[in-house]
Amino acid sequence: MLITIPNVLSEHELQQYRLHLSSADWESGVSSAGEQSLSVKKNLQLNPDSKLAQQLGDHILQALSENTRFVSAALPLKISSPMFNRYQNGGHYGWHVDNAIRIIPGTPIRLRTDLSATVFLNDADDYVGGELCIRDTYGEHQVKLKAGDMVLYPSTSLHQVLPVTKGQRLASFLWIESMVRDHEQREILFDLDQNIQILGAQHGLDNPQVVNLSALYHRLIRLHVDT
């Protein structure tokens, strides 16, 4: 299931991001490509060890920790350091699947990639092409969100970024190891939690049915979560 997380970053924050990224030192994205991706990847990336990448990445992690929809959807246990890429002049990334295990740079910590995420940093009108295409059991989906929005999808999905033929596409991307490993269980918990929030807003969080549903949600969390 694809889940969109709107307004991860505000317009003011995005302006600051674009200002810093406009003068950043970009390098070939091939440097971080796996063996199978070398022939299909053509983009630029910010060096993940650079001070700018670390500062912007820490800011995104803080924003995600405060985003209730993201926490509900991902139930994160570990989150990789956000990375940053730029597509222009026909830049693209052909069909591939993300590595199952990643090492968080500078640490011995290994992360199982349950979920992949892209945060769009400039508006869709700023470039032509650049759609994120995700293939699942329901077919192929093309995603091109407004600046500041995030898309979250299973890391097992085949995906690609179509060529950017005009302008440039700026984005941040990251991976999440969830406390709930099974995608279907995680989706059920997300749907239940979202409906509890809607009913709570309509009838009050102290409504008996809302309280009972909340208790059910936490019983399921105890059954399925590993910490």
The string of pLDDT tens digits covering residues 83-120 is 999 999 999 999 999 999 999 877 899 999 999 999 99
- pLDDT band at 31, cuts 50/70/90? low
Predicted TM-score (pTM) of the model is: 0.94
Count: domains in the chain:
2
Beta carbons of 115 and 152 less than 8 angstroms apart = yes
What's the pLDDT tens digit per position in 152-192? 999 999 999 999 999 999 999 999 999 999 999 999 999 99
Are residues 188 and 149 part of one domain? no
Q: Rounded CA gap, 148 and 172, in Å? A: 10
CA 53 to chain centre: 16
**How large is the angle between the packed helices 51-65 and 11-22, nearest 10 degrees?**
160
In this structure, the answer to whether residues 37 and 75 fall within a common structural domain is yes
Measure the N-to-C terminal CA separation of the chain; round to a whole number of Å: 23
Residue numbers of the domain that contains 47? 3-178
pLDDT digits (tens, 9 = 90+) for 49-78: 999 999 999 999 999 999 999 999 999 999
What pLDDT is attached to residue 190? 98
pLDDT for 1 beyond 90? no
Percentage of the chain with pLDDT > 70?
96
Q: Give the separation between CA 25 and CA 227, rounded to whole angstroms.
A: 38
Query: Residue written as tokens 């969080």?
Result: 205
Question: Does 32 have pLDDT greater than 90?
Answer: no
DSSP string, 58-99: HHHHHHHHT-HHHHHHH-EEEEPPPEEEEEETT-EEEEE---
Let me know whether 77 and 167 are in one domain: yes
Residues 55, 15 share a domain: yes
Residues 196 and 218 in one domain: yes
Same-domain pairing of 220 and 195? yes
Are 148 and 210 found together in one domain? no
**Looking at the structure, do residues 11 and 84 belong to the same domain, yes or no?**
yes
Domain at 160, CATH number: 2.60.120.620
126 and 208 co-located in one domain: no
Q: Is residue 59 domain-shared with residue 114, that is, in the same domain?
A: yes
